[in-house]
Amino acid sequence: MGIIAGLIPGLHSNNMAVILAATPFFGEEITAFMLSLCITQAFTEFIPAIFIGAPGENTFESILPAHRMLMQGKAFEAICLTTTGALTAVIAGSLLTPLFFMFIEQNSQQIITVTPIVLIAALIMFIAGEQTIKKKLVVIFLIIAAASQGILFKEQVFPLITGYFGIAGTLYSLKEKPFNAKQNINAEINPKIILDSLIGITGGAIVSIMPGIGSNTAAGIINLFRKTKSTEKYLAMLGAINASNFFFSYATMLALDKARNGTMLALQEKIFHTTDTLFLGTIIMVTSAGLGGLAAIILAKKAITIFEEKFTQKMSIATIILMIILVGFFNGINGLTAMVFATSLGLFTIISGIRRSTCMSSLIVPVLFFYVFALI
Amino acid sequence: MNDKTLSKICLAITLTGMLFLALTYKPEFEETTISNLIQKENSKGIIFGKIESVIKTGQTTIFILNDSNKALIYYPKTIEIEENDFVKVYAENNSREITEEKYSSKKKELMLFAYKVIKE
């Protein structure tokens, strides 16, 4: 189920959680099912993001660097990088869980106080990152526009990210010459990226503690503070954030009795909080991580044989149609409306030569408002 | 490190996890009796029995179960059960917490908490 959920853009584990919440399953049965689903999905959801540019709620930050690798014939390597990051996160996460427990129990209030400061710093970094005054003004306009869209369409995260990061880029690429990058079916990974994966774990821990901050927001924020912007390191970090987010969300739920995402909210009602529950959940997640990693590698190789030498304009058009259908199916008319506005803003960002991660303001600003008003 | 090494690592992690699970797994609920459950605080188990009486209050259900011993059981949900029904109950003896909050100390020793009730 996790593999299927990962391969279908827009089918988030939160959707599965809603269905499961209505079933009579409970206790260990549902713990095993949900945790393995979430962790496996954390590995396989990069496949549609990388091969067809269809983003998921946790993977849209991967689209731009992965697209670069796809054009260089390194799509398989991109999957191996996110897999390495996610595996490192799950293994290190299982070892760090006791420390994480103690930390969040003692500092939960301080973390909430610091969150809006981090978010404001991220917005400032977006502006400061541009060189000319003109571009800085454009970034400010983009932040306001994206934030307005985020507030107006606050329940439409999937259509917004599909518009900003999926359709906008694919539409823009239609005017460029079709490319025919021969995809390499072997990947060589530098073991040093494990260090970046460990940085990603910090991001995952932040996401699991701070409500409203997603994996992509955390990746974007960490990336703003990093000096080296290697695509490989970034993908490994994103894989680590994504997997450790679920890993630590579970620990946070057991330690603070607070759910940080829809999946944990559904689980919270169905499980019993004991030390055994944490131990069992940890083993299940580690086991599922191994399976998820294997599935991602095997499926990525399959995807290469399907997509190889077919990266034409027709393929791009088919991808756009698929994304529109998915948004229409999962989010209806409101979602399609949000997607049109988001696509326009995404295209404007590309044409202006501004970093598209600025569009993340649509997620950051509403969360910032939430914290500011909650703290006041 | 190449993709083949990565696949081997994934396989090793999966097998180690499965082995760990097989060695350490202990079912959360095992079949037991009311008397066993009442004797040990915070113990959990699956008990079978006949319902002697039911009280439904808003969103909760309280009933007396008989499996040759009797226990008052608190279920924090509504369920369609009646007197003389046979049920399987996933219960925990955390009666102290429940009684301190909701009931008189007189009932303290006999109150069990039900996570799930299945009509047989």
User: Which whole-number Å values give the CA distances from A7 to A1, A12, A33, A52, A56, in the listed order?
Assistant: 10, 10, 18, 11, 10
Task: Tell whether B7 is within 8 A of chain A (Cβ).
Answer: yes
- Determine, for residues B13 and A290 on separate chains, whether the beta-carbon distance falls below 8 Å: yes
Q: Which residue in B has a C-alpha nearest to residue A191's C-alpha?
A: B1
CA distance A183 to chain B (A): 14
Residues of chain B contacting residue A239, judged by C-beta atoms under 8 Å apart: none
Could you give the CA distance from residue A328 to residue A133 in angstroms, rounded to a whole number? Answer: 39
Closest to B115 (Cβ–Cβ): which among A27, A280, A283? A27
Residue B45: pLDDT over 80: yes
* Residues A209, A104 contacting (CB under 8 angstroms): yes
User: Which whole-number Å values give the CA distances from A161 to A151, A243, A338, in the listed order?
Assistant: 14, 20, 10
Measured in degrees and rounded to the nearest 5, phi and psi for residue A374 equal -65, -35
Q: Which residue in A has a C-alpha nearest to residue B22's C-alpha?
A: A283
Measured in degrees and rounded to the nearest 5, phi and psi for residue A311 equal -80, 65
* Residues A183, A76 contacting (CB under 8 angstroms): yes
Helix (H, G, I), strand (E, B) or coil at A297: helix
Task: Tell whether B48 is within 8 A of chain A (Cβ).
Answer: no
What is the greatest pairwise CA distance in chain A?
Answer: 59
pLDDT band at A68 (very low <50, low <70, confident <90, very high): confident
The pLDDT score that the predictor gives to residue A311 is 56
Could you give the CA distance from residue A190 to residue A129 in angstroms, rounded to a whole number? Answer: 29
- Determine, for residues A272 and B28 on separate chains, whether the beta-carbon distance falls below 8 Å: yes
Could you give the CA distance from residue B88 to residue B57 in angstroms, rounded to a whole number? Answer: 21
pLDDT band at A141 (very low <50, low <70, confident <90, very high): very high
Q: Which of A38, A64, A36, A40 is nearest to A50 (CA)?
A: A64
Which residues have C-beta within 8 Å of that of residue A64, sequence separation ≥ 6? Answer: A165, A169, A356, A357
Interface test with A, best of B10, B79, B90, B112 (most A CBs within 10 A): B10
CA distance B76 to chain A (A): 11
Residue A53: pLDDT over 70: no
- Determine, for residues B3 and A289 on separate chains, whether the beta-carbon distance falls below 8 Å: no
Residues of chain A contacting residue B12, judged by C-beta atoms under 8 Å apart: 290
In this prediction, residues A88-117 reach a mean pLDDT of 81
What is the greatest pairwise CA distance in chain B?
Answer: 68
pLDDT band at B15 (very low <50, low <70, confident <90, very high): very high
In this prediction, residues A317-333 reach a mean pLDDT of 83
- Determine, for residues B24 and A293 on separate chains, whether the beta-carbon distance falls below 8 Å: no
Average pLDDT, chain A: 77
Burial class (CB in 10 A: 0-12, 13-18, 19+), A244: buried
Residue A4: pLDDT over 60: yes
User: Which whole-number Å values give the CA distances from A76 to A47, A82, A183, A295, A296, in the listed order?
Assistant: 9, 10, 8, 13, 10
Which residues have C-beta within 8 Å of that of residue A172, sequence separation ≥ 6? Answer: A347, A350, A351
What type of residue is B111? M
Q: Which of A134, A86, A22, A23 is nearest to A285 (CA)?
A: A86
Beta strands in chain A (DSSP E): none
What is the separation of C-alpha A278 from the centre of its chain, rounded to a whole number of angstroms?
24
Could you give the CA distance from residue A251 to residue A257 in angstroms, rounded to a whole number? Answer: 9
Alpha-helical segments (H) within chain B: 3-24, 34-39, 95-102
pLDDT band at A145 (very low <50, low <70, confident <90, very high): very high
Pairing of the two strands B70-75 and B111-119: parallel
- Please calculate the CA angle A270-A273-A275 and round it to the nearest 5 degrees: 140
Residue B39: pLDDT over 90: no
Task: Tell whether B3 is within 8 A of chain A (Cβ).
Answer: yes
The pLDDT score that the predictor gives to residue A344 is 93
Quick count: other Cβ atoms within 10 Å of Cβ A268?
15
The pLDDT score that the predictor gives to residue A94 is 84
Task: Tell whether A291 is within 8 A of chain B (Cβ).
Answer: yes
**Residues 84-113 (A) with a CB less than 8 A from some CB of B:** 84, 87, 91
Measured in degrees and rounded to the nearest 5, phi and psi for residue B63 equal -145, 160
B48-65: pLDDT as tens digits: 999 888 887 777 888 888
What type of residue is A181? A
pLDDT band at B12 (very low <50, low <70, confident <90, very high): very high
Task: Tell whether A25 is within 8 A of chain B (Cβ).
Answer: no
Q: Which of A55, A53, A89 is nearest to A236 (CA)?
A: A89
Could you give the CA distance from residue A274 to residue A110 in angstroms, rounded to a whole number? Answer: 26
Residues of chain B contacting residue A80, judged by C-beta atoms under 8 Å apart: 3, 6
Residue A126: pLDDT over 50: yes
A23-41: pLDDT as tens digits: 666 677 777 888 888 888 8
The pLDDT score that the predictor gives to residue A262 is 64
In this prediction, residues A138-156 reach a mean pLDDT of 89
pLDDT band at B107 (very low <50, low <70, confident <90, very high): very low
Residue A225: pLDDT over 50: yes
ipTM: 0.71
- Determine, for residues A289 and B13 on separate chains, whether the beta-carbon distance falls below 8 Å: yes
Percent of chain B exceeding pLDDT 90 equals 5
Dig out the tokens for A172 from the structure.
């823009």
The pLDDT score that the predictor gives to residue A176 is 61
Could you give the CA distance from residue A369 to residue A104 in angstroms, rounded to a whole number? Answer: 23
Could you give the CA distance from residue A361 to residue A161 in angstroms, rounded to a whole number? Answer: 11
Could you give the CA distance from residue A62 to residue A50 in angstroms, rounded to a whole number? Answer: 7
Q: Which residue has the higher pLDDT, A179 or A252?
A: A252
The pLDDT score that the predictor gives to residue B106 is 47
Residues of chain A contacting residue B9, judged by C-beta atoms under 8 Å apart: 87, 293
- Determine, for residues B28 and A28 on separate chains, whether the beta-carbon distance falls below 8 Å: yes
Q: Which residue has the higher pLDDT, A218 or A10?
A: A218
B96-105: pLDDT as tens digits: 555 555 555 4
Q: What is the CA radius of gyration of chain A?
A: 20
Torsional class of A22: left (φ above 0), alpha (ψ -120 to 50), beta (otherwise):
alpha
* Residues A266, A17 contacting (CB under 8 angstroms): yes
The pLDDT score that the predictor gives to residue A144 is 93
Q: Which residue has the higher pLDDT, A222 or A358?
A: A358
Percent of chain A exceeding pLDDT 90 equals 6
In this prediction, residues A254-262 reach a mean pLDDT of 67
Domain B34-119, architecture per CATH:
Beta Barrel (2.40)
- Determine, for residues A189 and B6 on separate chains, whether the beta-carbon distance falls below 8 Å: yes
Q: Which residue has the higher pLDDT, A296 or A101?
A: A296
pLDDT band at A143 (very low <50, low <70, confident <90, very high): very high
- Determine, for residues B24 and A279 on separate chains, whether the beta-carbon distance falls below 8 Å: yes
Q: Which of B49, B48, B75 is nearest to B62 (CA)?
A: B75
pTM score of the predicted model: 0.72
